[in-house]
Structure 1
């Protein structure tokens, strides 16, 4: 049995047209989720019940939660089949829905995306938003996807337990799905045609709020790095103060050593558990991180000493400058080597 899942919030008649066409021309069982729409949308959902199984939220919980409500329902049914997710605004052509479904049927251990070409007349926020998320996604995973914001996706029901574990309630859920899938499942792209109705004005995507949710993993890394720097800097300053009039070379060595030991331990656990969510053994990642920490410590100490000797900068100011220089190096080594996830292939 194959299913199509459609989350809907304040839909219009385009939803009814889509449901009728799916029912008339395919064998899909339709799962429609009313995500807390207002009473004004009630007539739409009452008519929709003639074509679909209707699941409802009393209050708006977000697209991600609407999808998970449908996934949980299908998981409880326990029947194997292809599942397609599509938007309620009529932007996805039935032919494209059938194409992604067929691709998922042929490749049951893959996540299939219906990807847009973004050619011709495309609303500015849709074009810009997709370019930005593509860039962020590639930086995070190393995979170059054509369309990270597509709502047309297909997979088999054996992926449901995996999808139900993914965090997120609103639009960030779809990005989190890709980030998590990139580690464990191949991602396949199927070109589709997308119609933007009235310049996509019916979209309920809120660029600022939902954008912050989508990029929260990036902010986690920045916050972890900033927190580690604060710990490092405070310990460094405290040791300098406690050593008083000791020789500058000794002060730099001891202050930087103590600060690095404390901040590196803090940074390691923060990045492993909160940012990269890496499940590799402590020995595997800890050994690599220890090597990185020692290398950064040597570079940090040498650069501080060089900057202090050559330019006579204050030791506290020098510490800030050197830490900024080493930030990018630390990020690249951790992302690409220490906490590297198994990279999957994007297939077409």
Structure 2
């Protein structure tokens, strides 16, 4: 069975034209979600009931929740098949919907995206937004996706439990879906043609906000790193104070060592639980993390000693400079190797 899911908020007759064409040419079980539309749209949903199952939200709950409502409905039917999501505004060609569905049926346990080419006359907002987010998405996940905002997606019904666990009720849900799927499933793309209606003025995509969403883990990592640095810095400063009578090289080594052990334990715990949400054993991740911590400690100590000897800078100031330099290295190693996320390449 093929299911076509169409969230609809204040739809016009483009919705009816779409589902009529689909039903005339395919055996899709079409599911339309009225996401709290006003009474002026009642006649459209009433007509849609001739071609589709129409589910209703009394109030507007957002596109993400509308999709989840449909997924819950499909899951209850307990009939294996493919699920296709499409927009209600008529931007997706019927033939492209069929092609995406076929690709998903041929590739179970994979997320299929209907990817627009962004050639020809493309609204500037759409071109800029997609260029920004696909670049950030690649940097964050390591997965190349050419169209991060497409609403035309497909997957097999056994993936519904995963889709239900993805966070978000509104338009952020679709970006969260991509971010989470990049860790668990291969992502495939099918080239599609998209019609921009009224210069795509109905688009709800927000380039800056969605771009920040992609980098939310880096922000969390920065916050835990800053907290860890504060711990490290305070312990380091106190150790320097209490070890004032010790020769400078040994003094730096001992102060930095005590500070690094304390902050590393704090940083490991917060990164594992809050940033990367890693489920691997403490033995597995701990070995890698504390090997990294040892390497960073050695590098940190050497750089502090070098900066102090060459530039004669204050030891407290040098600590801050070196910490900033090692931040990016720590993020990269932890993300790619220690708390490694499963990633699959789009194709």
TM-score between the two structures when normalised by the length of structure 2? 0.93
Which residue number in structure 2 is paired with residue 301 of structure 1? 301
Q: Bigger shift: 126-135 or 315-324?
A: 126-135
Number of aligned pairs? 347
Q: Note the residue ranges of structure 2 that are not aligned, 5 or more in a row.
A: none
Aligned to 1:334: 334
Structure 1, unmatched stretches of 5+, are none
Shift of 1:121: 1.4
1:79 lines up with 2:75 in the alignment:
no
SS of 1:317's equivalent?
helix
1:190 deviation in Å?
Answer: 0.7
Aligned to 2:218: 218
Distance in 2 (CA, whole Å) between partners of 1:134 and 1:189 is: 14
* Aligned twin of 1:185: 185
Deviates more, 1:131-140 or 1:190-199: 131-140
Alignment correspondent of 1:228: 228
Alpha-carbon deviation of 1:198? 1.1
SS in 1 for 2:108: coil
In structure 1, the residue matched to 2:200 is: 200
Two-structure CA RMSD over aligned residues (Å): 2.0
**Counterpart in the other structure of 1:127:** 127
CA deviation string 1:221-267 (max 9, x = no partner):
23222332233223323333444565443442233222211222222
Aligned mates of 1:234, 1:170 — CA distance in 2: 42
Does the 8 Å contact 1:171/1:213 carry over to 2?
no
8 Å CA contact 2:84, 2:153 repeated in 1: yes
Change (3 A) 1:145 1:205: closer
CA shift at 1:92, angstroms? 0.6
CA distance in 1, matches of 2:129, 2:38: 28
Equivalents in 2 of 1:268, 1:126: separation in Å? 40
- Superposed counterparts of 1:1-348, under 5 Å: 1-243=1-243, 246-347=246-347
Q: Once the 2 structures are TM-superposed, how far is the Cα of residue 208 of structure 1 from its aligned partner? A: 4.5
Question: 2:214 & 2:198 partners in 1: Cα distance?
Answer: 25
For residues 52-95 of structure 1, the C-alpha deviation after alignment (integer angstroms, 9 at most, x for no partner) is 21222233322222111111111111111111001111111000
